[in-house]
Amino acid sequence: MSSQAVVIKKSKLLNEEARLAYILLAPAVIVLVAFMFYPIIYVFLMSFFDTDKLGRLRSFAAFKNYKVLFQTKDFWTITGRSILWTVIGVTTKTLFGLIIALLLNIEYRGRKFARMLFIIPWASAVPISAMLWQWVYNPEFGLLNFTLQATGIWKNPPIWLGQPISAFFACMWVDIWIGIPFMSLVFLAGMQAIPNELYESAYIDGVNSFQKFFYITLPGITELIMIATLLSSLWTFNDFNVIYILTKGGPGGATDILITSVYKNGFEWLKFNIASVMAVVTFLILAIVSIVYAKIYFGRERK
C-alpha cells in the first residue's frame, strides 16, 4: 500500500517535471518547426510539383522533376564536382591542420601569438575573406601574381578566376584556407591531451620523431580526426559563400557545386522545381553524414 503511494507520488512528480520541460522547450521547438522543418517539408513537396516563375505550385508532377534532373549531364558533373571539392578540401585541410598543430605543439616564446595569428582566417567573416581573395587573385593589379612573378616562384601564373581549371582550384584554396584553423586547433588540443609520459618513455627508448608521430601522436588523436573531418566535410560541401562571391559558379559553370546550383536554379533561373529536387538530393547527402556524426558524438559521450 505504502509503496504504491510512493509510486503514484513519483509519477506525479515526473509529470510535473515533464510539463515544465515541455513548456521550456516549446518556444524553441515551435520556431524550429515553423522556420526549419516546415521549409524542408515544403522543399520536398515542391520537388514533386511543376512550379511557375514565382515558385507557386502548379500541378502534381510525381517524379517528373527527378527524371528530368537525373537525365541532364550537368547534374552529374556538378554532383561529381561537389564530391571532388569536398574530398580535396577536407584532405588538404586535415594535412595542413596536422602540420600546424605539430608546429604549435612545440614550446617556444611567441607560440601563443603564432596560434592567434593562425586562427585569423577562421575568425574572419567568410564573405569578406572571399571578397579580399577576389582582389588578391586579380590578374593585373593583384599582389598574388605580382609576388609569384617577382620572387620567381611562378613565372607565368594563370588568370586565376578567368579559366575553368584554375578558377576551381582558386576557389578550392579559399575554402581550404578558411577551414585550416579549425583543424589545427582541434588537433592541437588533442595532442596536448596526450600524456607527456608517453613521449618521455619513448625518448628513453631512443625513438625518433617520425616514430613518435606515427606510434604516439597519431593514434592519440584518431578519434578527433574522425570527428573533425566529418564536420569539415559538411562545412566544405556546404560552402556557398566562397564560390558565389568569387565566381558565381563560373566561368561557364566550371566552379558550380550542388549548393551554388540550388541557389542559381531557384533565384536566378527561377526553376524552382529543379532547384528543390537538387535541394532534396543535397539534404539527403547531408542528413546521412550528420547522422554518422551524431552517432560518433553520442558514442563518445557515453564513454
Partner 1 sequence: MKWRNRGKPFAIVVTILLLLFILFPFFVMLSTMLKSGQDVYTSPPFWFPKKVMWTNFIKVWTEYDLLGYFNSSLIIAIGATIFNTLLSVPAAYAVSRLRFPGRKTILYMFLVIQMFSPVIVVISLFKIIARIHLLDSYWSLIITDTVFTLAFTTWMMNGYFKSIPIEIEEAALIDGCTRVQTITKIMLPIAVPGLVTTMIYTFIYAWNEFLFALSFIQSKPKMPLTIGLYNFVGRWSTQWQYLTMSAFLALLPVLLLFYVIEKRLVAGLAGGAVKE
Q: At what angle do helices 164-192 and 111-123 cross, to 10 degrees?
A: 140
153 is a contact residue toward partner 1 (CB under 8 A): no
Q: Crossing angle, helix 111-123 and helix 73-104, to 10 degrees? A: 160
Q: Running DSSP on this structure, what letter comes out for residue 206?
A: T
Of residues 267-296, which lie at the interface with partner 1 (CB under 8 A)?
A: 267, 272, 275-276, 279, 282-283, 286-287, 289-291, 293-294, 296
Q: Is 195 in the site for partner 1 (CB under 8 A)?
A: no
CB nearer partner 1, residue 142 or residue 251:
142
Instruction: Report whether 261 contacts 278 (CB < 8 A).
Output: yes
Find the binding residues for partner 1 in span 211-270 (CB under 8 A): 212, 217, 223-224, 227-228, 231, 234, 237-238, 240-241, 245, 259, 262-263, 266-267
Binding of partner 1 by 95 (CB under 8 A): no
Long-range contacts of range 214-223, CB-CB < 8 Å, 24 or more positions apart?
A: 217/102, 217/191, 220/190, 220/191, 220/193, 220/194, 221/187, 221/190, 221/191, 221/194, 223/296, 223/300
Helix (H/G/I), strand (E/B), else coil: 59: strand
User: Rounded distance, CA 77 to CA 75, Å?
Assistant: 5
Q: How far apart are CA 157 and CA 143, in angstroms?
A: 12
220: helix, coil or strand?
A: helix
Which of residues 7 and 291 has its CB atom nearest to partner 1 in the complex? 291
Span from 72-80, 86-94, 95-103, 154-162 in contact with partner 1 (CB under 8 A): 95-103
Nearer to partner 1, 77 or 209 (CB): 209
Contacts of 76 (CB under 8 A, 6+ apart): none
Considering only 114, 159, 218, 254, the residue that binds partner 1 (CB under 8 A) is 114
Question: Which lies closer to partner 1 via its Cβ, residue 1 or residue 65?
Answer: 65
Q: Which of 64, 66, 88, 124 binds partner 1 (CB under 8 A)?
A: 124
CB 1, min distance to partner 1, A: 26
**Candidate segments 3-11, 37-45, 78-86, 156-164, binder of partner 1 by CB under 8 A:** 37-45
Rounded least distance, CB 67 to partner 1, Å: 20
